[in-house]
């Protein structure tokens, strides 16, 4: 199995800065790459805040936080990633952006390097088919907040080799995560099962079956979910939920994934959940 020392993380947003954080905390050198200095600065500030929180909770020592910080080098220069032996892409969820980025990574990184994507919905198989090393392309689907959540869905594309899969399983464990194997299909497992639940909860609101509060209580008190599906939908963003339902309909051709009309109307109204101040609940 090739030894991994330096990891390229593409995108310093919500997920990218979390991934850079856990990689650095686990002893890897990280090159964190974005398209604008402002995005890098914001990502580094988030890492700083999250490391400080871990120190305050005594999960790591101030010395370990300092060492993790020093292992992360921000860069705007994609060619600088030539020193990396592994890449995790966490850029904006658009096929054209990811496809162009994978083309560059394929050109820049050493031929044996594995290229992983943190995509929530784009086909790993299709991303892999665009480049010269499809056997070394794989999905590593982390969960938000990355430093806290235990799961990594490891997504095998059609062309992913066993050795790539084994390396990524082992890397996920070195990052302190639990990898779960999933094949490449629309929504993988997490969103394929979670989003229809959220969508059905929205149908229940639309049809007057119960209030959002009552629906959330059913799941918290009856199924021991830490938050109900509508609170969770507001947290994820209703626009993101709608996009994922559309990916499920398109990817499977199955009308059972039809987005609830109330979800569509709320997104049209700009009621996107927490981030817009209003969703199923108000966030003044």
Given the complex with ligand NAD, which of 97 and 262 has the nearer CB atom? 97
Interatomic CA distance for residues 280 and 232, integer angstroms: 10
Terminal-to-terminal C-alpha distance of the chain? 51
91, 241, 245, 260: which one contacts ligand NAD (CB under 6 A)? Answer: 91
| Nearer Cβ to ligand NAD (77/268) | 77
Q: By C-alpha distance, which of 275, 204, 205 is closest to 240? A: 275
The token pair at 213 is 């509060």
Tell whether residue 120 is a contact of ligand NAD (CB under 6 A): yes
What b/e readout covers 233-247, taking b as 16+ CB neighbours within 10 angstroms? Answer: bbebbbbbbbbbbeb
> Residue for token digits 């592994």?
86
Task: Tell me which of 10, 47, 241, 242 binds ligand NAD, using CB under 6 A.
Answer: 10
- Residue 15 makes contact with ligand NAD by CB under 6 A: yes
Query: In whole angstroms, what is the distance from residue 255 CA to residue 245 CA?
Result: 10
Query: Is residue 34 involved in binding ligand NAD (CB under 6 A)?
Result: yes
Catalytic residue among 120, 121, 123, 199: 120
Report the SS3 class of residue 214. helix
| Closer Cβ to ligand NAD, 34 or 184, answer by number | 34
By beta-carbon distance, which residue lies closest to ligand NAD? 13
Q: Give the nearest distance from C-beta 132 to ligand NAD in angstroms.
A: 19
**What is the maximal distance between C-alpha atoms in the chain?**
57
Q: Which member of 26, 35, 60, 196 binds ligand NAD (CB under 6 A)?
A: 35
Give binding residues for NAD(+) as ranges.
11-16, 34, 93, 98, 120, 144, 275
């Amino acid at each position: 199995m090739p030894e991994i020392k330096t990891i390229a993380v593409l995108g310093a947003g919500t997920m990218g800065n979390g991934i850079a954080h856990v990689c650095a905390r686990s002893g890897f050198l990280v090159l964190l790459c974005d398209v604008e200095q402002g995005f890098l600065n914001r990502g580094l500030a988030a890492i700083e805040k999250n490391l400080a929180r871990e120190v305050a909770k005594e999960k790591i020592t101030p010395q370990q936080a300092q060492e993790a910080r020093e292992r992360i080098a921000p860069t705007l220069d994609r060619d600088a990633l030539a020193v990396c032996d592994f890449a995790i892409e966490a850029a904006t969820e658009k096929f054209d952006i990811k496809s162009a980025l994978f083309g560059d990574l394929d050109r820049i990184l050493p031929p044996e390097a594995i290229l992983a994507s943190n995509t929530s919905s784009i086909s790993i198989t299709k991303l892999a088919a665009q480049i010269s090393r499809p056997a070394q392309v794989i999905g590593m689907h982390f969960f938000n907040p990355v430093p806290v959540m235990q799961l990594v869905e490891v997504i095998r594309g059609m062309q992913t080799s066993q050795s790539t899969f084994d390396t990524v399983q082992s890397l996920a464990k070195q990052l302190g995560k639990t990898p779960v194997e999933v094949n490449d299909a629309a929504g993988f497992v997490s969103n394929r099962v979670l989003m229809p639940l959220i969508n059905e909860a929205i149908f229940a609101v639309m049809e007057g079956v119960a209030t959002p509060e009552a629906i959330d209580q059913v799941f918290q008190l009856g199924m021991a979910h830490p938050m109900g599906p509508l609170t969770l939908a507001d947290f994820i963003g209703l626009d993101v939920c709608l996009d994922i339902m559309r990916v499920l309909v398109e990817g499977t051709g199955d009308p059972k994934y039809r987005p609830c009309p109330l979800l569509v109307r709320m997104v049209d109204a700009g009621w996107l959940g927490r981030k817009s101040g209003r969703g199923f609940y108000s966030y003044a």
